[in-house]
């Protein structure tokens, strides 16, 4: 009996010790690796969320080292458990999980059935093409469907590293085309379908709209009537834009983490990270060509405050360039599409956050659209950070600016 008690006591001590080490490591990482600039909303809550992310990543790494499975698989599972908030089932909605051209989707239909045809909204979730799910975005899609009286389709596209570019893009494109073809079945006016998404989903939104606008004449389908892009990543050319430098260590998206997501989406070769970060992945001639669309001088002066240093790299690694070539396609980097292609895009809503590495991608795309005569509605969260709309209605972890932003998006959609 004494041996049993001793074993239990030692096991308990070990568990407590490991827990203390984990918590200590998380706290140390949160306070040493991240920077919360003055003016950012809810710094205490943001540190807590970032701490949860660090803890989840650490547990996933431990599981992988114990040969319990890939880290990403564990991180996905733990994220769903830790970050998903219980939300009340909306009684005014009918939901169903179906497939659109072999792509899983969740359809949210307001009840009662409308006498006329409703607006339709496709939503592509964020998560760096690696994380995220329709379950994690269920509360947001329910809110949008109920508040706008629209049929919302949330798309469960394939994720990296199991699937690489262009799998995610193709899933979103196929789901969109299917919805355009079958809109009548859901009581939706096919001429009032909006494509939308946040973060990686914002990238996929622009990519899908670019492809559909290019095939519009031969498809016989009406194009999307608008696109909603929420802090989208739009180019893998320049990681030295002001927002990348100003916010490189601001949670919830670091500069190096964005490169990780891009490379996971592209080909999974993490050894290319330093070359991409330093600009050695792009030939000088291409870099010069893209500077007409991607450079700090095109960003309003109020966003250039700080020690911004332009990238002056004049050499490149040819083998690296060969490996990242697909990243310069418009369906990967929509900011690099031609003026002719940009001019065909539908009216656009763009949301940016001040303390987000992707802020300037949104600002540059806004300028490109306006220069090519495309109407743009822009909403900027002055105290916002990347991912803030995911916390628009999450109990203690709610951020008022996230709620205002979601309601602003709802207002835009209601006018369509």
Domain assignment present for 173: yes
Mean pLDDT of 138-153: 97
Please write the tens of the pLDDT for every residue from 291-302.
999 999 999 999
Whether residues 34 and 104 share a domain: the answer is no
Last residue in a domain, options 55, 83, 111? 83
383 is catalytic: no
pLDDT at 370: 98
pLDDT at 307: 54
| pLDDT tier at 65, thresholds 50, 70, 90 | confident
Q: Which member of 171, 198, 240, 356 is catalytic? A: 356
Q: Which member of 316, 386, 390, 401 is catalytic? A: 386
199 is catalytic: yes
Mean pLDDT of the chain: 91
| pLDDT tier at 23, thresholds 50, 70, 90 | low
Q: Which member of 199, 213, 243, 390 is catalytic? A: 199
For tokens 């004449």, the residue is 217
Q: Report the number of distinct structural domains present in the chain.
A: 2
Domain assignment present for 297: no
CA nearest to 41, candidates 411, 387, 407:
387
| DSSP H or E segment with residue 123 | strand 118-124
Please write the tens of the pLDDT for every residue from 38-50.
999 999 999 999 9
Cβ pair 160, 168 in contact under 8 A? yes
pLDDT at 12: 56
Last residue in a domain, options 40, 62, 83? 83
Last residue in a domain, options 65, 83, 101? 83
Domain assignment present for 277: no
Could you tell me the maximum CA-CA distance found in the chain, to the nearest angstrom?
82
CA nearest to 299, candidates 410, 90, 291, 395:
291
Higher pLDDT, 7 or 113: 113
- The percent of residues in the chain predicted with pLDDT above 70, rounded, is 87
Cβ pair 235, 252 in contact under 8 A? no
Whether residues 65 and 102 share a domain: the answer is no
- Please give the residue range of the domain that contains residue 397: 93-235+327-414
Q: Which of 16-20, 34-38, 62-66 has the lowest mean pLDDT?
A: 16-20
Cα separation, 242 vs 248, in Å, equals: 10
- Quick check: 85 pLDDT over 70? no
Domain assignment present for 191: yes
Mean pLDDT of 371-393: 98
What token pair was written down for 240? 């030295």
Cβ pair 378, 405 in contact under 8 A? no
280 is catalytic: no
Domain assignment present for 244: no
pLDDT at 305: 81
Whether residues 47 and 126 share a domain: the answer is no
| pLDDT tier at 77, thresholds 50, 70, 90 | confident
Q: Which of 48-57, 134-143, 262-271 has the lowest mean pLDDT?
A: 48-57
Please write the tens of the pLDDT for every residue from 162-203.
999 999 999 999 999 999 999 999 999 999 999 999 999 999
- Quick check: 279 pLDDT over 90? yes
Q: DSSP letter for 129, please.
A: T
CA nearest to 401, candidates 414, 385, 415:
385
Domain assignment present for 172: yes
Whether residues 153 and 126 share a domain: the answer is yes
Higher pLDDT, 82 or 148: 148
Domain assignment present for 361: yes
Domain assignment present for 316: no
One DSSP character per residue, 130-153 reads TS--TTTTHHHHHHHHHHHT-EEE
Whether residues 342 and 220 share a domain: the answer is yes
Whether residues 72 and 184 share a domain: the answer is no
Whether residues 107 and 197 share a domain: the answer is yes
pLDDT at 140: 98
Whether residues 122 and 187 share a domain: the answer is yes
CA nearest to 276, candidates 333, 237, 310, 249:
237
């Amino acid at each position: 009996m004494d041996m049993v008690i001793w074993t239990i006591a030692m096991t308990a001590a070990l568990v407590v010790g490991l827990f203390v080490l984990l918590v200590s490591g998380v706290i140390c990482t949160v306070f040493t690796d991240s920077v919360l600039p003055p003016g950012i909303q809810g710094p205490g809550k943001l540190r807590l969320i970032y701490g949860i992310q660090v803890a989840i990543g650490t547990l996933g790494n431990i599981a992988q080292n114990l040969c319990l499975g890939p880290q990403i698989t564990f991180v996905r599972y733990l994220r769903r458990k830790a970050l998903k908030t219980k939300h009340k089932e909306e009684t005014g909605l009918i939901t169903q999980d179906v497939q659109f051209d072999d792509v899983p989707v969740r359809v949210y239909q307001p009840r009662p059935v409308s006498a006329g045809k409703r607006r339709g909204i496709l939503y592509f979730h964020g998560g760096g093409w690696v994380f995220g799910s329709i379950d994690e975005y269920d509360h947001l899609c329910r809110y949008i469907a109920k508040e706008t009286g629209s049929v919302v389709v949330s798309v469960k596209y394939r994720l990296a590293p199991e699937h690489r570019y262009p799998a995610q893009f193709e899933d979103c494109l196929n789901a969109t085309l299917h919805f355009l073809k079958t809109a009548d079945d859901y009581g939706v006016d096919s001429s009032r379908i909006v494509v939308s998404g946040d973060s990686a989903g914002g990238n996929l939104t622009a990519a899908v709209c670019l492809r559909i606008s290019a095939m519009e004449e031969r498809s016989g389908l009406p194009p999307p009537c608008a696109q909603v892009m929420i802090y989208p990543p739009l180019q893998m050319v320049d990681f030295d834009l002001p927002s990348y430098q100003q916010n490189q260590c601001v949670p919830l998206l670091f500069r190096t983490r964005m490169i990780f997501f891009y490379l996971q989406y592209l080909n999974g070769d993490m050894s290319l990270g330093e070359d991409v970060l330093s600009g050695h992945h792009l030939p000088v001639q291409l870099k010069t060509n893209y500077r007409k669309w991607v450079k700090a001088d095109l960003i309003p002066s109020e966003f250039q405050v700080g020690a911004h240093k332009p990238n002056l790299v004049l050499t490149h690694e040819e083998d690296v360039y060969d490996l990242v070539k697909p990243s310069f396609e418009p369906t990967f980097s929509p900011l690099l599409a031609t003026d002719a292609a940009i001019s065909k895009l539908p009216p656009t809503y763009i949301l940016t956050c001040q303390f987000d590495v992707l802020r300037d991608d949104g600002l540059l795309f806004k300028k490109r659209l306006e220069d090519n005569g495309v109407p743009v509605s822009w909403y900027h969260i002055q105290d916002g950070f990347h991912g803030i709309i995911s916390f628009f209605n999450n109990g203690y972890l709610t951020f008022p600016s996230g709620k205002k932003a979601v309601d602003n998006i709802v207002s835009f959609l209601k006018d369509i």
